[in-house]
Amino acid sequence: MIEELLNKIKIAFKFATGFDLKGILLGLGGAFASLIFEVFEKIAFIEKQAFVSTADKEYLILAGGGLNEPVPASNASGEVLFYGTTGTNIATGTLLSDENNLEYRTIKDGTIATVRIIGTASISGDNATITSQEKLTTGSYLVNNVNKEVVVFENGILQFSRTGINAGDAVEIVANKALIEIESLDTGAAYNKPFNATLSLIVTEPDLNTDIGVIFVSNGKDEEDTEAFRLRLQNIKNRPEAQFNKSNIENSVKRVREDVRFMYIKGGEFQEGKIKIYALDFDLDLIAELSQEIFNIANEIRPAQMPSTAISVVKPIVLKRNVTITNLTPNSEELKTAITNNIVSFFNENNFFEEDIQLEKIEQLVFGSRTLKESVTTATVVFNGNKAVDTYLTLNDVVF
């Protein structure tokens, strides 16, 4: 439109004067000509900033009308394990760093305590394993009073040398540890750390191990870049009716919270003017801070006619069920470990909210398990996978 207007001005000027506008401006001298060109430049600038497809970042924010802004950078936070002498205190504000000198601080006090993890040994090759829900990271521990390296997997399996241990033996692992919450000193995705990563004390203390084990450190984010924000804003403007719906709420939450394992939004209640958001973190819990953030995100994009009281965020009822296996043939520890790993992975990788898990599916997992030498020929599987309203079904244990 603006380009058409400029062309009309040029044509009208030439028709009225017989001269080319650009040529006459050059002939009039620098001062007047520069003013005219400045007007054209300002018009071009306005044209650029008027459209989401070309606007610079600050004008994109204005285009969002205050309701949609770039996702801000955020600090990472999470849980780590300190190890050391029982009774040693860890103060709030204790500083840690990673291999790239990115720094963190503790945000709560804690005290090293002795924890005894009890289990029954399964044997596979040169290794023994037990399963535990106790939070632990890979490191050196007393295993039946012998110092051993224990490899800890995120699904709760603890693996160590089988030396001196037979299948079915009772195993006791002793750990002196404290679970402490931390946050990064600055914002950015570079501060996020996976399970079993290692941080270090910046100032060493005689009764604390220098290496700190990471349970999780997440939610560190870089500020949303201009092009990603532009695309998101275009999608919203192209489909304004889709802004407040189930998928948009879920995607908005997961953009800023990496610790959300599960979200479910009751569908029919949208038509009734209410929504109920079910959510769990990776500990199968819903802490108040996470619940509030999910509510805030949904509240920001709710329609004006919907009151904030129509939005609720709740934790589903978590049902932990055992899988019991008898009459297993071959009845080897290696095969039991393979079966356990198969079933644990299945539950870790799927969410079951108000959904039946058929016994046939668990039987498929059992009979599909194998080692290099063996596969299941016979087994009796017992599992109650019946659903109930507002419930989230997950695994408690695999029992042989």
Q: Kindly state whether residues 237 and 155 are assigned to the same domain.
A: no
**Most confident region among 7-21, 44-58, 171-185, 359-373 by mean pLDDT:** 171-185
Task: Kindly tell me if the per-residue pLDDT of 186 is higher than 80.
Answer: yes
Of 314, 337, 356, the one marking the end of a domain is: 314
CATH of the domain at 298: 3.30.300
Segment 146-162 mean pLDDT: 94
Q: Based on the domain organization, do 302 and 338 belong to the same domain?
A: no
The secondary structure of 216-233 as a DSSP string is EEE--BPPPPHHHHHHHH
In this model, does residue 241 exceed pLDDT 60? no
Instruction: Of 62-76, 124-138, 268-282, give the lowest mean pLDDT range.
Output: 62-76
Whether residue 133 is found in the same domain as residue 208: yes
Q: How many CB atoms lie within 10 A of CB 208?
A: 20
- Same domain, yes or no, for 145 and 194? yes
pLDDT value for 300: 76
Residues 200 and 81 in one domain: yes
Distance CA 381, CA 399 (A): 10
Residue 271: count other Cβ atoms within 10 Å of its Cβ.
7
Identify the band that residue 243 occupies on the pLDDT scale cut at 50, 70 and 90: low
Domain that holds residue 30: 2-50
Average pLDDT of the residues in 162-176: 95
pLDDT at 21 over 80: no
Band of the pLDDT at 121, cuts 50, 70, 90? very high
Q: Phi first, then psi: what are they for 271, rounded to 5°?
A: -70, -25
Whether pLDDT at 172 is above 70: yes
Q: In the structure, what pLDDT confidence band is assigned to residue 252 with cuts at 50, 70 and 90? A: confident
> What are the C-alpha distances in Å from 234 to residues 51, 52, 62, 63, 240?
10, 7, 13, 10, 10
Strand-pairing partners, residue 394, are 320
Determine the average pLDDT of the residues in 92-110.
96
- Looking at the structure, do residues 97 and 207 belong to the same domain, yes or no? yes
Which pLDDT score is estimated for 45?
59
Confidence of residue 46 (pLDDT cuts 50, 70, 90): low
* Predicted pLDDT of residue 15: 47
- Band of the pLDDT at 36, cuts 50, 70, 90? low
Beta pairing class for 311-314 and 275-281: parallel
Question: 365 with 350: CB under 8 angstroms?
Answer: no
Chain centroid offset of residue 163 CA: 38
Query: Regarding predicted confidence, which is higher, 230 or 392?
Result: 392
Residues 308, 323 within the same domain: no
CA 397 and chain centroid, separation:
25
Alpha helices in the chain (DSSP H): 2-17, 21-28, 30-49, 57-63, 226-238, 246-256, 288-300, 333-349, 359-367
Together in a domain, 326 and 393: yes
Least confident of 36-50, 76-90, 187-201, 328-342: 36-50
| Residue 11, SS3 per DSSP | helix
pLDDT at 32 over 60: no
Confidence bin at 10 (pLDDT 50/70/90): low
Q: Residue 138's pLDDT band (boundaries 50, 70, 90)?
A: very high
**Do residues 211 and 82 both lie within one domain?**
yes
Task: Specify the number of domains making up the chain.
Answer: 5
pLDDT of residue 232: 67
Q: What is the pLDDT of residue 271?
A: 47
Reported for 163-170, long-range contacts at CB under 8 A and 24+ positions apart, including other chains, are 165/121, 165/123, 165/128, 166/121, 166/123, 167/121, 167/122, 167/123, 167/333, 168/120, 168/121, 168/333, 169/120, 169/121, 169/144, 170/118, 170/119, 170/120, 170/121
Q: Are residues 251 and 379 in the same domain?
A: no
Residue that finishes a domain, picked among 285, 314, 343:
314
Per-residue confidence (pLDDT) for residue 41, from 0 to 100? 65
User: Are 79 and 212 part of one and the same domain?
Assistant: yes
Lowest mean pLDDT among 97-101, 237-241, 376-380: 237-241
Phi, then psi, of 46 in degrees rounded to 5: -60, -40
Ramachandran area for residue 103 (φ above 0: left; ψ -120 to 50: alpha; else beta): beta
Encode pLDDT of 191-237 as tens digits. 999 999 999 999 999 999 999 999 999 989 888 777 777 776 666 66
Cα distances (angstroms) measured from residue 8 to each of 4, 37, 38: 6, 16, 18
Q: Do 27 and 86 fall within a single domain?
A: no
Lowest average pLDDT, out of 56-60, 65-69, 122-126, 340-344, goes to 65-69
Query: Does the pLDDT of residue 65 top 50, yes or no?
Result: no
Which amino acid does the sequence have at 270? F
Element (H, E) at 326: strand 317-329
DSSP structure class, residue 18: S
- Angstrom distance (rounded) from CA 46 to CA 55: 9
pLDDT band at 325 (very low <50, low <70, confident <90, very high): very high
122, pLDDT greater than 80: yes
Residue ending a domain, choose from 268, 290, 314: 314
The CB density around residue 308, as the number of other CB atoms within 10 Å, is 10
Q: Which of 102-106, 242-246, 287-291, 389-393 has the lowest mean pLDDT?
A: 242-246
The rounded distance, in Å, linking the Cα atoms of 376 and 359 is 17
